[in-house]
Chains A and B, each alone.
Chain A
Amino acid sequence: MALTDLRDKLVADLGRDGVIDDPAHLRTYECDALTGYRVVPALVVLPRDAGEVATAVRACAEHGVPFVARGAGTGLSGGALPTADGVVISLQRLRRIIEVDPVNRRAVVQPGVTNLDISKAAAAYGLYYAPDPSSQQVCTIGGNVAENSGGAHCLKYGFTANHVLAVDVVLPDGTPTRLGGDAPHQAGFDLLGAFVGSEGTLGVVTAVVVRLLHTPATVRTLAADFDSTETAGAAVTAVIAAGIVPAAIEMMDNLAIQAVNEAVDAGFDPDTAAVLIIELDGPADEVEERFAEVTAVCTAATRVTIARDAEQRARFWRGRKAAFAAVGRLSPNYFVQDGVVPRTRLGEALARIAAMADEAGLRVANVFHAGDGNLHPLVLYSEAAGEHERAEALSSAIAELCVELGGSLSGEHGIGTDKACSMPRMFSTDDLETMKRLRAAFDPAGLCNPGKIFPTPRLCGERPGPYRPHPLESAGVIERL
């Protein structure tokens, strides 16, 4: 009943073309890019502005109906997965760049604007928006805020959280508010910082104020081949230990290289065990000095190719950014995992993953943000051959391995639906209950994107996996109580 009433109310307020309720059309909203999870929502609304978002959220709150915001649906953790009795609030019609302010180096944009369109609008002033997820041509800034998205260049520049000055949000009861301010100084708690990365569970973003940076004066890029992922990992550590902060250090293993070479003409050596793409940017002198140091540190490389021009650099990046999709050529199906290990344990992590893959009888390709220790193992499998469950188990085991090595379940894709059941591996009950206090402060009724981040008995069975102590706890360095 509530849903019928709600639909009528939404149609009255947003107009017939602001509400989708026919089953065929609703199906296009049943999943994000983690396509294994699918739920057709009861309704989809397409608000045209912040006022209509508030109207829609308030109506859901009044009817006690759960809702989830949706940007481009490129999320990889099932963050935008609807509930069957709930509403999807699509931000696709809020795609206006409200203002680019070159004097104060910022832009005000609606949440449905794509990440790349911000940089395109800023380009006229020599400015750009720094965080660069590989999905930047399609993913929205609202989704980026929700996921605290990263990208290859976050090693030097930081993540979404470091580049957002303020957000306008509609709170889960329909109240509009602003978090953050005109500058990175807030009077009181950093509610903006708590909101960014909250995976759509604390409210719906209706505008974002982002910082813009001047494009760097110089960019230098090299691709270095190594005879094993271990030696490549050691080179990453050596670069960082030399006090160098590259803009990016990305690694691909042989399987990933093979896939990429088939998909695009990136020119990587098909026989090398691993390649590192290392990029430095900044003032010319500084980059030249540091680039010389990087090449000196890469002595273990079997071959170093320095991009001679922008075109060759673009080719390296085309290869890197095409890697996920290219892996589709090697295997009918694959899972993308996203975990983080302390950088010094990269070699160990890759060796353990290889061993686990062997044991499972599956192949794993690695393409990742090596500078941050942010792994993206791609578990290749075939649905047709009935390998789904084995592959899923391997993928989860890899994420949990990251925690065991002192890292994290997710570096950028989020917990969402996908890894909620693994959260107790990383956090104790008290940790999670404390996080839920924050959620309850924003959303006492629990209607805003329910079922994400936190393990629930329904999702995980009665007993989610047990908490295991952090390695530093086991070593007696830190104590939990």
Chain B
Amino acid sequence: MKPATLAELRDAVRDTDGPLVVRGAGTAAGWAGTPLPGATEIETTGLDRLLAYNPDDMTVAVEAGMPLTRLQAELAPHGQRIALDAARTPAGATVGGLVATADSGPLRHSHGGPRDLVIGVTVVLADGTVARSGGHVIKNVAGYDLGKLFCGSFGTLGVIAEVVLRVHPLPPATRTVALPCDAVEAVDAAGRLLAARLEPVALEWCDGSLLARYEGGPSSVERRAAVTPGTPLDGAAEAKAWQRVGDVSEEQTVVRCGTRPDQLPYVAKHATRVASSVAVGVHTVAVAGDAEVERLRAEFEHVTLCRRPPGSDLPAWGRPHTAVPLMRAVKQRFDPAGRLGAGRFAPWF
């Protein structure tokens, strides 16, 4: 089913019997657990309108099926953007899909992820309830923040129908410096760059290079790049370096994991390739096979499976972290019949 309005979506959820699975553009279909067969698919790509945009307020409201690239194209003429650069964006990822998977890219270093950018949501629960939280202003503490709760929910708590986001100005200039180094050196070098208070917007270690990206006024980014160890990259080389960071997500077996920043060397030891936001400790990790996934899970609690080869029977989630019982309780309250996204969080629930 492909509803085109919030009302159609609500009706589709309410009037269809049995299990449902939500799908955006399908760019993260392989993330987390495989949905059990037999569920009716609800595709959100028919919900793709821009609902409200007032550039001076720096907020924008969209339907969840709007591809992020299209939203960025709407904002760019006003000198604005959503500060979210998940690797799957060019493949057509929808705003709702990015929220549901809590996906992010190198800009997480300075802007966080969807949880830090979403200021309001409208969701449709499994029983057809339509609920909003947050609103259209950036600063807002009225009521519980369901927008954050739905980050990383993989379509199991409800269907995200509308999203309100904060926008940021597009930088006048950017510059990237590449410093060849290993994982141990990357942790130290990143620490030194931060201590030098140069405020890079992204600090990513990938394929043996630490990439530091600066954004801001033209002369300021040049001067900051000039005092950064490594080689400043020209336009083409810069684009290619960041392309490689995104490519890590395309490898055969990929996980996203969160660790203390100084644990990068351990992560790297078990990886074939890593794109690591080294200063925050969020890594996109390509590994040789299931055994390495298990090893990372044995060491770290927060590991999300993003890609695995066809036919792999690796469970999607490892040993449950301490909040998993609470996740089950929340799931029980939001979707007591277990209609939505069954299998996504197997074997946890």
Chain A residues packing against B (C-beta within 8 Å): 101, 103-105, 126, 147-148, 150, 154, 158-159, 161-162, 171, 177-179, 181-194, 196-198, 214-217, 237, 240-241, 243-245, 282-283, 285-286, 289-290, 340-344, 369, 372-374, 406-415, 419, 423, 426-428, 430-435, 437-442, 453, 470, 472, 477-481
For the complex formed, measure the closest distance between the CB of B17 and the CB atoms of chain A, giving whole angstroms: 21
Whether A344 pairs with B61 at a CB distance below 8 angstroms is: no
Q: How far is the CA of A283 from the CA of B141 in the complex (A)?
A: 31
Whether B142 pairs with A193 at a CB distance below 8 angstroms is: no
Q: Knowing A241-B55, A477-B52 touch, does A438 contact B142 (C-beta < 8 A)?
A: no
Q: Knowing A103-B261, A190-B149 touch, does A185 contact B282 (C-beta < 8 A)?
A: yes
Whether B57 pairs with A342 at a CB distance below 8 angstroms is: yes
Q: How far is the CA of A408 from the CA of B57 in the complex (A)?
A: 14
Chain B residues within an 8 Å CB radius of A290: 216-217
Q: Knowing A184-B280, A188-B152, A194-B149 touch, does A150 contact B139 (C-beta < 8 A)?
A: yes
User: Which chain A residue lies CB-closest to B63?
Assistant: A478
Return 15 A-B CB contacts under 8 Å, by A number: A185-B302, A186-B102, A187-B152, A187-B304, A188-B324, A190-B151, A193-B148, A240-B58, A241-B56, A286-B199, A431-B143, A434-B133, A435-B133, A437-B333, A441-B326
Q: How far is the CA of A240 from the CA of B57 in the complex (A)?
A: 9
For the complex formed, measure the closest distance between the CB of B199 and the CB atoms of chain A, giving whole angstroms: 5
From 141 to 156 in chain B, residues with beta carbon under 8 angstroms from any chain A beta carbon are: 141-146, 148-153
Q: Knowing A126-B195, A183-B302, A427-B132 touch, does A478 contact B220 (C-beta < 8 A)?
A: no
Whether B317 pairs with A187 at a CB distance below 8 angstroms is: yes
Chain B residues within an 8 Å CB radius of A453: 143-144
Neighbour of B332 across the interface among A190, A410, A441, CB < 8 A? A441
Question: What 5 new A-B contacts, CB under 8 Å, besides A282-B197, A285-B217, A442-B329?
Answer: A183-B258, A187-B303, A189-B327, A193-B115, A289-B216
Chain A residues within an 8 Å CB radius of B57: 342-344
Q: How far is the CA of A441 from the CA of B336 in the complex (A)?
A: 11
Whether B149 pairs with A189 at a CB distance below 8 angstroms is: yes
**Total number of B residues with any Cβ neighbor in A under 8 Å:** 97
For the complex formed, measure the closest distance between the CB of A158 and the CB atoms of chain B, giving whole angstroms: 7
Q: With an 8 A cutoff between CB atoms, is B116 at the interface?
A: yes
Whether B145 pairs with A105 at a CB distance below 8 angstroms is: no
Whether B257 pairs with A185 at a CB distance below 8 angstroms is: yes
For the complex formed, measure the closest distance between the CB of B215 and the CB atoms of chain A, giving whole angstroms: 9
Chain A residues within an 8 Å CB radius of B5: 479
For the complex formed, measure the closest distance between the CB of A66 and the CB atoms of chain B, giving whole angstroms: 19
Whether A479 pairs with B6 at a CB distance below 8 angstroms is: yes
Whether B261 pairs with A194 at a CB distance below 8 angstroms is: no
Q: How far is the CA of A433 from the CA of B133 in the complex (A)?
A: 11
Whether A181 pairs with B148 at a CB distance below 8 angstroms is: no
Q: With an 8 A cutoff between CB atoms, is B345 at the interface?
A: yes
Whether A237 pairs with B146 at a CB distance below 8 angstroms is: no
> Looking at A186, A196, A374, A442, which has the most chain B CB atoms within 10 Å of its CB?
A186
For the complex formed, measure the closest distance between the CB of B150 and the CB atoms of chain A, giving whole angstroms: 7
Number of A-B contacts (CB under 8 A): 303
The 8 closest A-B pairs by CB, nearest first: A193-B148, A185-B258, A183-B258, A243-B169, A183-B281, A434-B131, A285-B220, A217-B197
Q: Knowing A189-B151, A282-B199, A478-B51 touch, does A237 contact B113 (C-beta < 8 A)?
A: no
Neighbour of A162 across the interface among B112, B135, B172, B259, CB < 8 A? B112
Q: With an 8 A cutoff between CB atoms, is B59 at the interface?
A: yes
Mostly, the A contact residues are loop
Chain A residues within an 8 Å CB radius of B300: 182
Q: Knowing A183-B259, A409-B142, A479-B7 touch, does A188 contact B323 (C-beta < 8 A)?
A: yes
For the complex formed, measure the closest distance between the CB of A345 and the CB atoms of chain B, giving whole angstroms: 8
For the complex formed, measure the closest distance between the CB of A108 and the CB atoms of chain B, giving whole angstroms: 12
Q: How far is the CA of A103 from the CA of B281 in the complex (A)?
A: 12
Mostly, the B contact residues are mixed
Chain A residues within an 8 Å CB radius of B217: 285-286, 289-290
For the complex formed, measure the closest distance between the CB of A447 and the CB atoms of chain B, giving whole angstroms: 16
For the complex formed, measure the closest distance between the CB of B171 and the CB atoms of chain A, giving whole angstroms: 8
For the complex formed, measure the closest distance between the CB of B153 and the CB atoms of chain A, giving whole angstroms: 5
Whether A179 pairs with B144 at a CB distance below 8 angstroms is: no
Q: Knowing A181-B258, A342-B59, A438-B144 touch, does A214 contact B194 (C-beta < 8 A)?
A: yes
Whether B133 pairs with A431 at a CB distance below 8 angstroms is: yes
From 181 to 215 in chain B, residues with beta carbon under 8 angstroms from any chain A beta carbon are: 187, 191, 194-195, 197-199
Q: Knowing A187-B304, A193-B115, A426-B143 touch, does A438 contact B149 (C-beta < 8 A)?
A: yes
Q: With an 8 A cutoff between CB atoms, is B223 at the interface?
A: yes
Chain B residues within an 8 Å CB radius of A193: 115, 145, 148-149, 151
Q: Knowing A103-B261, A411-B140, A434-B125 touch, does A177 contact B220 (C-beta < 8 A)?
A: no
Chain B residues within an 8 Å CB radius of A185: 102, 113, 256-258, 281-282, 302, 304
Chain A residues within an 8 Å CB radius of B71: none
Q: With an 8 A cutoff between CB atoms, is B130 at the interface?
A: yes
Hey, what's the 0/1 contact readout for B104-142 against A, CB within 8 Å counting as 1?
Answer: 000010001101100000110100011111011111111
Q: With an 8 A cutoff between CB atoms, is B260 at the interface?
A: yes
Q: How far is the CA of A413 from the CA of B217 in the complex (A)?
A: 36
Chain A residues within an 8 Å CB radius of B108: 184
Whether B197 pairs with A481 at a CB distance below 8 angstroms is: no
Whether B329 pairs with A191 at a CB distance below 8 angstroms is: no
Whether A184 pairs with B152 at a CB distance below 8 angstroms is: no
Q: How far is the CA of A158 from the CA of B321 in the complex (A)?
A: 28
Whether A191 pairs with B323 at a CB distance below 8 angstroms is: yes
For the complex formed, measure the closest distance between the CB of A236 and the CB atoms of chain B, giving whole angstroms: 10
Whether A374 pairs with B302 at a CB distance below 8 angstroms is: no
Chain B residues within an 8 Å CB radius of A433: 129, 131
> Looking at A244, A437, A479, which has the most chain B CB atoms within 10 Å of its CB?
A437
User: Which chain B residue lies CB-closest to A181?
Assistant: B302
Neighbour of B220 across the interface among A101, A286, A369, A408, CB < 8 A? A286
Whether B136 pairs with A472 at a CB distance below 8 angstroms is: yes
Q: How far is the CA of A126 from the CA of B6 in the complex (A)?
A: 50
Whether A408 pairs with B135 at a CB distance below 8 angstroms is: yes
Whether B302 pairs with A423 at a CB distance below 8 angstroms is: no
Hey, what's the 0/1 contact readout for B37-68 against A, CB within 8 Å counting as 1?
Answer: 00000000000000110111111010000000
